[in-house]
Amino acid sequence: MPTRQIAFVVRLHYDSRMQERSKKTILCDGCGQPADAEHFALRLKRLESMTRYRPIHVQALFLAAASPANTEEYLYTAQSLFTGEGAALLKSLSIGTAGRTVDQVLSDFQRRGYLLAHLIECRDTTGDATVRGGAVARRIPATLTRIRRSFKPKRVVLLGQELAQFMPQFIALNLDAALILRDGRPFEWNEIGDGLLAKELAAPLQAL
């Protein structure tokens, strides 16, 4: 084989290895996981969907650790009906869904000044609790800054026990917002029953 052809083959092999290595080392800044184009596209779609229904003035910010893996369980990308955490949150806020389109429900959620956000905005694909916990911890400083400078809510409702260990950080930093907790801890998803959060928020919001 001529020298030029050998060089060409070697270069192709080298480029292929570099591309594979590049794919493995690209990490998403939102979750710390190795990410491909599909990962970034899904994250962007979720952020765009949340932004579409973001209220101008946030009366209550519902903050959870990580966005659900199932796209349909994510409040802002529900299709024909709400499931998972999205359905649980709406039910706890006494926001009815029967006979209403997804857009009508989300518009109602928006008009009330409600916003749902997650420290990790990407779906969890690792299934590793340690990796997820580390990613949540890394997102705390940026999220607290985002709450103070961008969201500027009147109330912050913490959801999920994954956030319990970070309570000192939420309390120590002045968020200019009241923390809504259950007996001094974040609300568990499985304990926010019918209308519970609506009752928790009713008196404070009426006083604003």
Domains and CATH numbers, the chain: 24-206 (3.40.470)
Question: What DSSP string describes 20-86?
Answer: HHHHHH-B-TTT-SB--HHHHHHHHHHHHHHHHT--SS-SEEEEEEE--SSGGGSGGG--SS--HHH
Q: How far apart (Å, rounded) are the C-alpha atoms in residues 203 and 141?
A: 30
Q: How far apart (Å, rounded) are the C-alpha atoms in residues 161 and 169?
A: 15
Among 205, 38, 30, which residue's Cα sits nearest to residue 132? 30
More confident of the two residues 120 and 4: 120
Edge-to-edge strand list for the sheet holding 114-120: 114-120, 60-66, 155-159, 178-180
At residue 14 the predicted structure's pLDDT band, cuts being 50, 70 and 90, is: very low
Q: How far apart (Å, rounded) are the C-alpha atoms in residues 208 and 205?
A: 5
Q: What is the pLDDT of residues 112-170, one digit of tens each?
A: 999 999 998 877 666 666 767 788 888 888 899 999 999 999 999 999 999 999 998 88
pLDDT of residue 180: 92
Beta bridge partner(s), residue 168: none
Per-residue tokens: 155:
């109330």
At residue 96 the predicted structure's pLDDT band, cuts being 50, 70 and 90, is: very high
Which pTM was predicted? 0.81
At residue 24 the predicted structure's pLDDT band, cuts being 50, 70 and 90, is: low
**pLDDT value at 207 more than 50:** no
